[in-house]
């Protein structure tokens, strides 16, 4: 599912790349690709950084291990993947290659996940400048396939959460991530959509996430059909919000 390049002025805070395009742009900085897949068989990869602005940009790199917390992502510094050079100046019109490589073996059973953060180092402020300088930050997902065959295995649950809302829970019981994009709810015997919600994000192996979804009408009795758009194709299941 491709999407248009992302634009961002240097009001910047953090940007976590969330679409499936092969290239993304943030301000004057372009990154390609925006998702990296490594394995024991393919332990190296390369990123291309490009500066489309009019002045040189200094960036630094930091790798963080990405793990599944209680309905949230957790990040800790890691040296499992090395990225070189760790700091660089990118001049306009001169692409910079970042080379990445595994420094450890793949996990025997489960996919490993990381984010490579590419952070702008702001130049020294001009004399008399009174504003706040903030740095643009881009997080590129990096996945390391396990030694065994890997696939997500999503389990779904739905409970009532008010007269016109439900709470949907997804648990990934597999050993690889799956990217979720949007969910919708319908009665099981028709195509009338009673709720839609964007849920863009990666569900890591072993991770659970919850979403409170408000319906555009009173919650009917009985089962509902849940349809979810993902990077691996659609999911369609029937769930009973009143089941014990």
Average pLDDT, the chain: 86
Position with higher pLDDT, 44 vs 9: 44
The pLDDT score that the predictor gives to residue 175 is 97
pLDDT band at 122 (very low <50, low <70, confident <90, very high): confident
User: Measuring CA to CA, how many Å separate 111 from each of 4, 64, 151?
Assistant: 29, 15, 9
Asked if residues 197 and 236 have their Cβ atoms less than 8 Å apart, the reply is: no
Asked if residues 226 and 241 have their Cβ atoms less than 8 Å apart, the reply is: no
Query: All domains of the chain, ordered by start, with CATH?
Result: 14-144 (2.60.40.10), 154-239 (2.60.40.10)
**What's the residue count for the chain?**
244
Tokens of 59: 């960036």
Confidence (pTM): 0.83
Asked if residues 74 and 68 have their Cβ atoms less than 8 Å apart, the reply is: yes
Listed in sequence order, the DSSP H helices in 69-192 are none
Distance CA 219, CA 165 (A): 7
In the chain, what percentage of residues exceed pLDDT 70? 84
Asked if residues 147 and 25 have their Cβ atoms less than 8 Å apart, the reply is: no
25-45: average pLDDT: 88
Interval 173-227: pLDDT, tens = 999 999 999 999 999 887 889 999 999 999 999 999 999 999 998 887 889 999 9
């Amino acid at each position: 599912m491709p999407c248009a390049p992302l634009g961002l002025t240097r009001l910047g805070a953090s940007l976590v790349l969330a679409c499936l395009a092969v290239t993304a742009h943030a301000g004057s900085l372009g990154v390609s690709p925006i998702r990296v897949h490594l394995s024991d068989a393919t332990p190296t990869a390369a990123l291309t950084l490009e500066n489309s602005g009019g002045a040189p940009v200094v960036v630094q790199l930091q790798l963080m291990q990405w793990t599944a917390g209680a309905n949230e992502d957790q990040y800790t510094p890691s040296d499992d993947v090395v990225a070189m050079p760790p700091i660089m100046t990118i001049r306009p019109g001169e692409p910079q290659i970042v080379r990445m490589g595994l420094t450890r073996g793949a996990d025997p059973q489960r996919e490993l996940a990381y984010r490579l953060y590419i952070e702008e180092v702001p130049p020294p402020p001009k004399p008399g400048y009174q504003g706040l300088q903030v740095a643009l930050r881009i997080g590129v997902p990096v996945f390391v396939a396990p030694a065994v065959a890997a696939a997500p295995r999503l389990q779904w649950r739905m409970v009532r959460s008010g007269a016109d809302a439900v709470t949907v829970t997804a648990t990934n019981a597999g050993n690889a991530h799956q990217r979720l994009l949007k969910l919708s709810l319908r009665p099981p015997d028709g195509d009338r959509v009673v709720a839609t919600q964007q849920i863009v994000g990666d569900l890591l192996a072993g991770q659970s996430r919850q979403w409170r979804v408000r319906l555009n009408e009173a919650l009917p009795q009985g089962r509902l059909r849940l349809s979810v758009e993902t990077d691996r194709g659609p999911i369609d299941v029937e769930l009973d919000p009143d089941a014990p």
